């Protein structure tokens, strides 16, 4: 395993830990933004905005949950205390099209994702996200989940 692969695994492990903080009963997603010098800039997980209660009835209602949820990638970008231009984002779930656009706009240059089967309901959004990232020159590396 190369040095880069070791760092990628470490930060993906961290993203999995951050994902465990999510209250979402079906899909827990974590993201870690890392500076070029391999130090952590920000973390985020999918969940309701600050001040919005994690009410079980809202978490169990898909339409409400989707309407209220801030995605892990967006949470990490929004809570960074500095610009993230030139950084890498590690995430446990492929970014959706909206998050991909935000990643590009924030100046993140690399996305590292745990490779999993794409749920059918997200296939179109993931395809659009891949196009946005590719068109903007953001590299995407898929890393297999550990057995």
CB 105 within 8 A of CB 133: no
pLDDT in tens, 90-117: 999 999 999 999 999 999 999 999 887 6
pLDDT in tens, 26-69: 999 999 999 999 999 999 999 999 999 999 999 999 999 999 99
Query: Residues 6 or more apart from 102 whose CB is under 8 A from it?
Result: 73, 74, 77
Q: Map out the domains of the chain as residue ranges.
A: 3-144
Does 96 belong to an annotated binding site? yes
Question: What amino acid positions are annotated as catalytic residues?
Answer: 73
Q: What is the pLDDT of residue 147?
A: 66
Domain covering 3-144 assigned CATH 3.40.140.10 in the classification = yes
What's the rounded mean pLDDT across residues 109-133? 87
CB 48 within 8 A of CB 68: yes
């Amino acid at each position: 395993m190369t040095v880069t692969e070791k760092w990628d695994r470490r930060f993906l492990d961290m993203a999995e830990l951050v994902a465990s903080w999510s209250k979402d009963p079906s899909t827990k997603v974590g993201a870690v933004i890392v500076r070029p010098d391999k130090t952590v800039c920000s973390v985020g997980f999918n969940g309701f905005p600050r001040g919005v209660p994690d009410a079980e009835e809202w978490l169990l209602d898909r339409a409400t949950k989707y309407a209220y949820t801030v995605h892990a990638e967006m949470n990490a970008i929004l809570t960074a205390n500095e610009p993230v231009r030139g950084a890498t984002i590690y995430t446990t779930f492929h970014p959706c099209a909206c998050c991909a656009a935000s990643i590009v706009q924030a100046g993140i240059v690399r996305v590292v994702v745990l490779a999993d089967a794409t749920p059918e309901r997200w296939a179109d959004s993931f395809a659009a996200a891949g196009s946005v990232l590719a068109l903007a020159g953001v590299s995407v590396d898929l890393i297999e989940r550990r057995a």
